[in-house]
Amino acid sequence: MSTGSGPHALPLALVALVSCTAPPEAVPTRPGGPLPGLTAAQLSRFQTGRELFMRVWGVEDGLGPVYNENTCNACHSSPGPGGGGVETDEKVTTFTPAGGCDLLTDRGGANVRQQATPPAAALGVSRESGPAGTRGYFTPPVLYGRGLIEAIPDDVLLSLEDPEDQDADGVSGRVGRDASGRVGRFLRKASVATLRDAAAGSLTVELGLTTPLSPREQVYVEGGYPPGADPVPEPEIGAEVADAIADYMRLLAPPAPDPPDDPQELAQAAAGREAFAEIGCGTCHVPVLVTGSHEVQALSRKPVALYSDLLLHDMGPELADICGPAATPSELRTEVLMGLSTRTRFMHDGRSPTLWDAIERHAGEAATSRDAFRALPELRRHALIRFLETL
């Protein structure tokens, strides 16, 4: 990533804004609350979407015939509605003969669903195993502040990428893409471009609820499901459901930072922030990005303490699993550290029980920063961890 001259340089206006802007003020809201400053109409949209997000869906609504959970909130509930979770999604992909990523769209898609509805089970349908291929496991992402992420212009992300490592810093991030080629920013492979796509896709792949936006049941079973296993005709719910859930996600407030009350700990966290910058963590975990103009004033031209460039980076063979529309198996989108204080497990698959362990697992393009972390005096390493715990 470069802030100098050249084709991948960060625009000077953005450099000035990012470098001179203090991290955004803490949002005075409990986890799962709406963005401050919403209009009455926007708050109404938020509440409608929240109710649908927390609704428990049944067979009569179109649930299944295979699914993972019967409500969005089952996986996104910690530390409150719209948060993350410790469950893991199982996904499988293969490669095409030409070497491209095969998302198995014609064979049930990448998600492997773990439950079958009672009518389907009575007809012999069981949890899916999915086709043969490379497996990956992903914990549910925290959804707080995702409207701010959506509102960051594509041009900002494109300005951050450096696929040929022209500045020779060992980091060659590049934008992710969805299956249509649009700039991706959501999910661990940066494979989803918008919250509307995220909502519609999740309703289908996680709950088995088809919409006009995602109208096909994803079927691994050869020949399809037996008659009666999926009694509700497609599309099972209207596009307005996905739109309302997307509005809910879009209008969720970002999590407030969690600075320590103790002056000594506060000083330790400040020293940790310096160490974070010193060893190059901020090259990928960019502290602040800025949203563009937006019809929702609460999302318009806001600095976001994201601690991510939202780009794909090669993290080494130990973290390699599935591919994505524009991601190799070892590439992952830089994890968003905003709201890190609300999480209990770390890395894309939750394999790390501590932040220290997560840092140690960084490899590939992150190896230099990992090694610099190891070389820090022990007190500075603990300070860096204490800083991360405040995010």
Q: Residues 306-352: pLDDT tens digits?
A: 999 999 999 999 999 999 999 999 999 999 999 999 999 999 999 99
- Give the list of residues 6+ apart from residue 116 with CB closer than 8 angstroms, or none: 64, 65, 66, 67, 125, 126, 127
> What pLDDT shows up at residue 346?
96
The CA R_g of the chain, rounded to the nearest whole Å, is 21
Residue 5 lies in a domain: no
Question: What is the DSSP secondary structure assignment for residue 297, as one 8-state letter?
Answer: G
C-alpha to C-alpha distance for 263 and 245, rounded to whole angstroms: 41
To which H or E segment does residue 93 belong?
Answer: strand 89-95
Number of domains in the chain: 1
Does 58 reside within a domain? yes
The pLDDT, as a whole number, for residue 31 is: 85
Instruction: Give the ranges where the chain is alpha helix by DSSP (H).
Output: 12-20, 40-54, 118-122, 146-150, 154-160, 195-207, 239-250, 263-278, 355-360, 367-375, 378-388
User: Is residue 381 included in any domain, yes or no?
Assistant: yes
Phi, psi (5° rounding) for residue 333?
A: -70, 140
Intervals of the chain under pLDDT 50: 1-28
Residue 171 lies in a domain: yes
The C-alpha atoms of residue 35 and residue 197 are separated, in whole angstroms, by 21
Predicted pLDDT of residue 210? 96
pLDDT attached to residue 25: 44
* Residue 251: CA count within 13 A, CB half-sphere: 27
Q: What is the span of the domain harbouring residue 262?
A: 12-24+36-388
Cα 135 from Cα 321, distance rounded (Å): 6
Inside any domain, residue 1: no
In a domain, 309, yes or no: yes
Residue type, 239: A
pLDDT score of 29 = 57
Joined together, the tokens standing for residue 154 give 């594509």
Instruction: Judge whether 30 lies within some domain.
Output: no
Q: What pTM value is reported for the model?
A: 0.90
How does pLDDT run across 162-180, given as a tens digit for each residue? 999 999 999 999 999 999 9
> What distance in Å separates the CA atoms of residue 388 and residue 83, rounded to the nearest whole number?
18
Residue with tokens 């019967």, as numbered in its chain: 70
**Rounded Cα–Cα distance for residues 26 and 254 (Å):** 9
pLDDT at residue number 5? 34
- The answer to whether 323 touches 330, Cβ cutoff 8 Å, is no
